[in-house]
Amino acid sequence: METTEPLDLYLNQIIATVFLYTSFLFPNSIIRKLLGIPYLLFLPGYNLTAVFFPWNAPHEKDNHNDSPEANVERDNYGIGWIERLSLSFGLSLIVVILIGLGLNYTPWGIRLIPVLVVNYLFISLTTLLAFFRRSKLPEGEKLLFRVDYNLNKKVTLSLVISIIVITASISFLFMTPRQGEKYTEFYLLDPEGNMENYPTNLTVGEQGRVIIGIENHEYTEVPYRIEIWPINKSIKALTSMKLVWFYEVTLDHWGKLNTKAQWERTYTFSFIQNGTYKVMFLLFRLDVQNPLLFEEGRVITGIKAESHLNSSYRILHLWVQVDR
């Protein structure tokens, strides 16, 4: 069967659209897993190749309707299906890498959802460009859907088998991803979102601000509890600390679509007494730990305070000098 209709462009856009919607609506479906490989490793490169090479291969042009000079001129540009498919895989890898590098310099970063969305926009844009370029060509020059059987059959068969094996291997790895290290990232940032200008020098009554953040990389949903306990180290006595704030939040694991895997909150604090303070930020995992749950304003001292500090899942501290 031969046709000059841009069925390949239509099919590519349909596959990309189905994959994107499935990723958001049914993130664990088998359709998403099966379409993920061509979405990232084939469609971008195929569409880009279609933009640059909208013509048929030289032997596929309609030589009856064109002059020999015109055919010779176009022979320098047309490519066959084997070359077209090879370029599709290679260019797709380059496009996805460049998308990742570009996102690295944006507020979204190299994350799953931004990569999928930007890749969809790229596929859609190149589909329009390829359709426009192909529509401007005479019928005899438009791309034909016809496989080149004049090549050595053994070479063609080897290429087809290689592509099938590689695609099947990548699909298997994609559908059964290997879990990395399980951990929770617990961090403090300054008011501008950096790790530089922390409020370490204040006066009595002056407000300081920090950003508290959590990222769940535990590969499971985790309920967390954050507690803040300032300790006045100027007092030479047993450890005494007061719970000034706590918050509980449940996060799904990082990398899963349509989930909340990161939490950040700006915390404002001040002191009514001068001294040197060690502000303790404690993080507890409520699914695997059974910590004592104190109410806000509770004061604990001595061994009980030390035990509570040691029982936390993650712990951070900030030294603050408070002057009059």
Predicted model pTM: 0.52
The side-by-side arrangement of strands in the sheet containing 183-189 is: 183-189, 208-217, 262-269
The amino acid present at 18, given as its one-letter code, is V
Whether residue 258 is predicted with pLDDT greater than 50 in this model: the reply is no
Res. 63: pLDDT tops 50: no
> Which residues, in sequence order, are bridge partners of residue 323?
203
Question: What is the spatial distance between Cα 279 and Cα 270, in angstroms, rounded to a whole number?
Answer: 11
Tokens of 155: 């070479």
Task: Indicate the average pLDDT of the chain.
Answer: 81
Contact 271, 298 (CB under 8 A): no
pLDDT value for 72 = 45
CA separation, residue 175 to residues 50, 170, 180, 217, 224 (Å)? 29, 9, 15, 19, 29
- H or E element that contains 164: helix 153-175
One-letter amino acid at 164 equals I
Q: 183-323 sits in which CATH class?
A: mainly beta
Residue 87 has pLDDT above 60, yes or no: yes
Q: Is the pLDDT of residue 10 over 60?
A: yes
Give the tens place of pLDDT for each residue, 144-177.
655 444 545 555 566 556 556 655 555 555 555 5
As a whole number of angstroms, the longest Cα–Cα distance in the chain is 100
Contact predicate 130/8, CB 8 Å: no
Q: Which residues contact 30 (CB under 8 A, 6 or more apart)?
A: none
Burial class (CB in 10 A: 0-12, 13-18, 19+), 288: exposed
Domain locations in the chain as residue ranges: 7-175, 183-323
| Mean pLDDT of the region 108-114 | 80
Question: How big is the CA angle at 186 (ends 221 and 315), to the nearest 5 degrees?
Answer: 115
Point out the least confidently predicted range of 57-71, 179-193, 227-241: 57-71
Binned at pLDDT 50, 70 and 90, residue 248 comes out as: very high
